[in-house]
Amino acid sequence: QETKYNLNGVELKQVKIRSGLITLELSSSIQEIVDLTYLMPDATKAGIPFSFTESIPAGTQTLQATITRSYDLSGYTIDMRGVNLNDYNTMVAQFTANISTSAIDSVVINQGDKFDMKYTFTDIETEFAIGYFGSYSISNSYTEPIDIFKNIPSGYLNIDSIRMDMKIENGFGIDAQLRIDTLKSINTTTGGSAALTHSLIGNAINLTRALNFASPGYPFTYSEYNITVNTNNSNINALVETLPDQFQYALVMDINPFGNNSYGNDFLYYASDVKISVDLNVPARFEANGLTIADTVDFDLGKDPGTEHETTVVGGFFYLYADNGFPFDARLQIYLYDENFAIIDSLMVPPNNTITAAPVDLSHKVITKFQSRLDIPVDDEKMILLEQAKKALVKTVFTSKPNNQIMTIYSDYQINLKLIGDITYRAKVN
C-alpha cells in the first residue's frame, strides 16, 4: 500500500533519517497466533530494506490481542516518490499476515474479526532531505551580547572611522530573502541605544541557495552575501559610541519567495543553518570625554579582619604614583569591597584624584609618560576598613588633552600605578 502524507506545502522526494523510531501497535481478534511480515522496500540502509516479522497472540471473540514494538530508523534512507517514482510525501509498505504454522487446528475467521496495524514516527531527526520545502515566512528577533566595551560602563567617545563587515551565509539548498528590520546597539548600564540607518535595513536581501557538494567540515558549501557598513554609508558611529554590551536584531526570512524554482530539488542537511556574523572594526582613534573604564581587582593587606586591631594608626598617607602614557587626563577612584561585594569605603578624595595627561608632539603622539602623585590620607578608622577589604573596584574617567581632538592610541601606551604606604602606628608595649 501507498500512504501519502500532507506536510503543509512541503513535497519530499527523499529523506535520510539521522535518528528516530517507528512504533507499531499490532492487534488481532483472530483466535490463533498471527505472523506478520512487514517490509518498506523504499527504506534502505546499506542497500537492505527495512523489514521485521512479529507474532501476535491469539485473540478472542470479545477481546483483541495487542502488542507494541518500536524499531530504530537511524541511518535509513527513504525514497518518498511512491511505487511509480513520480510522486512525493509517499511511503510504500508491503505486509502479509498469516495464521501461524504453529496453529494447533484450523481457525474460523468470523464476520467482524479484524487485524489492526497502527504506526507512529517518534523523535525523527533528519540527516538529509530533498524535495520542495514550500513557500512561507519566518520572523525572529534576538539579542547578541558583545564584550568589546565590557570595562567601559559610561562616557562619550567620538570615533572618526568605523567599519562593520556583515557576512550572511546560507547553508540550505533553498532560495530565500532576508529582511533585517532592526539592528540596534544597547548599553544596558546607561540605557543608551541607537538604531542603525543603512540601505540594508528594511530591504530584502536575496540569498542564493547553498551548493550540494562538500566543503571543509560540511557536506555542503555555504552561499555568502557580504555587506560593508561604514561611517560614509550609515550612522554606525552612533551605534558604537553608545558603548554597547548588546546588539539586537529583528529579522524576517521568506523561504522560496519565487516558488518552486528548483523543480523539487531543494535540499537540507542536519548541519544546515543560516549564519549572520559581524566583524566590528573600531580603530584606536577617538576623542574621550568622561569615558569611564572600570575593573575589579583583588585587594588584601594580609591581615585577618577577625583578629583584634592591635595597633592604632596615628596618621599617615598612601601615595599613588601614576605614570600616565595616554594623552588623556584621568580621574581615579578606588572603591573597597568586602567579601560580599558590598562597598565599605573609597580611597581617593576629590578633587585631588586627577592623573595628568602625557604630553604630545605636534602630531599628537605621546612624547613621554607623565608622573602624577595622588596623596591619600589614612587614619585609624580608614585603616580598619582597609584591613576588611577583599576587592577593589578601580574606576578611571578619561578626558582628551587637548580637548575636542581625535587622538590615535598606540599599542605601547600604558598607565603604571604603584601604591606606597607611609603610616605612623602607636604600638602598645607591655
DSSP string, 53-106: EEEE----SS--EEEEEEEE-TT-EEE-BTTTT--SSEEE-EEEEEE-TT-SS-
Inform me whether the pLDDT recorded for 21 exceeds 80: yes
CB-based contact 230:236 (threshold 8 Å):
yes
Inform me whether the pLDDT recorded for 311 exceeds 60: no
Helix (H, G, I), strand (E, B) or coil at 167: strand
Residues β-bridged to residue 296: 393
Of the given ranges (33-37, 106-110, 140-144, 356-360), which has the lowest mean pLDDT? 106-110
- Identify the band that residue 124 occupies on the pLDDT scale cut at 50, 70 and 90: very high
List the one residue out of 157, 87, 183, 89 whose CA is nearest residue 129. 89
CA dist., res. 331 & res. 393, Å (int): 14
- Identify the band that residue 270 occupies on the pLDDT scale cut at 50, 70 and 90: very high
CA dist., res. 170 & res. 176, Å (int): 9
Mean of the pLDDT values across residues 135-155? 81
Q: What is the pLDDT of residue 304?
A: 56
Which range among 141-155, 252-266, 345-359, 395-409 has the greatest average pLDDT?
Answer: 252-266
List the one residue out of 167, 297, 163 whose CA is nearest residue 230. 163
CB-based contact 189:245 (threshold 8 Å):
yes
Mean of the pLDDT values across residues 338-354? 84
Q: Is the model more confident about 398 or about 141?
A: 141
Q: What is the pLDDT of residue 310?
A: 54
Q: What is the pLDDT of residue 158?
A: 66
CA dist., res. 31 & res. 53, Å (int): 19
- Percentage with pLDDT > 90 across the chain: 46
Output the CA–CA distances (angstroms, integers) from residue 399 to 239, 331, 361, 396, 402, in the order listed: 21, 9, 18, 10, 9
Mean of the pLDDT values across residues 387-409? 78
Inform me whether the pLDDT recorded for 206 exceeds 90: yes
Question: Strand (E) positions, 219-311?
Answer: 223-230, 246-255, 266-269, 274-281, 285-298
Inform me whether the pLDDT recorded for 77 exceeds 90: yes
Inform me whether the pLDDT recorded for 251 exceeds 60: yes
Q: What is the pLDDT of residue 252?
A: 95
Mean of the pLDDT values across residues 187-198? 91
N-terminal to C-terminal alpha carbon distance within the chain: 105
Mean of the pLDDT values across residues 225-244? 90
- Percentage with pLDDT > 70 across the chain: 91
Mean of the pLDDT values across residues 200-220? 94
Q: What is the pLDDT of residue 160?
A: 67
Which range among 108-122, 163-177, 274-288, 302-316 has the greatest average pLDDT?
Answer: 163-177
The mean of the pLDDT values for the chain is: 86
Residue type, 261: N
CA dist., res. 37 & res. 52, Å (int): 6
Q: What is the pLDDT of residue 341?
A: 82
Output the CA–CA distances (angstroms, integers) from residue 138 to 135, 141, 255, 271, 273, in the order listed: 10, 10, 8, 19, 14
Mean of the pLDDT values across residues 352-360? 88
Q: Is the model more confident about 195 or about 350?
A: 195
- Identify the band that residue 389 occupies on the pLDDT scale cut at 50, 70 and 90: confident
Mean of the pLDDT values across residues 78-82? 96
Of the given ranges (35-39, 62-66, 108-112, 231-235), which has the lowest mean pLDDT? 108-112
According to DSSP H, which parts of 295-399 are helical? 380-388
- Identify the band that residue 347 occupies on the pLDDT scale cut at 50, 70 and 90: confident
Q: Is the model more confident about 76 or about 335?
A: 76
CB-based contact 409:293 (threshold 8 Å):
no
Residues β-bridged to residue 44: 49, 77
Q: What is the pLDDT of residue 78?
A: 96
Mean of the pLDDT values across residues 348-377? 88
According to DSSP H, which parts of 148-271 are helical? 236-240
